[in-house]
Amino acid sequence: MRAVLQRVTEASVTVDGEVVGAIDRPGLVALVGVTHDDGPEQVSTMARKISDLRILRDERSVLDEGAPVLVVSQFTLYADTRKGRRPSWNGAAPGEVAEPMVEAVVAALRERGVEVATGRFGAMMQVSLVNDGPVTLVVDV
């Protein structure tokens, strides 16, 4: 499982002109990708990393601040661009595998007391955000 975490002051996801998820105060955007062999251990570790990493201002975490997280599924995080000009998506888990895994990360975050907004799995989404810092990290578990 892989995530790109961005510290933001605000963020939203729009699908077909409708805002489907938003955070309106400082927190994180988590773009989450799933690969074929991810399971419950990766879900648990990713939720812990997202909620506990001290990457907010003053070295605080999402849990320390009570900050929200916008989770957006992102299969393109597993693109292989080593050959040619066309990325290979073979590393990304298929939708029927990835969707429940992303939902499990969201559920695990909520179980930890994190306020979570989401995009819409499989939809063409427009993600808007104001990156704070900027701070952007890649997390592999």
Catalytic residues: 74-76
Name the β-bridge partners of 6.
29, 136
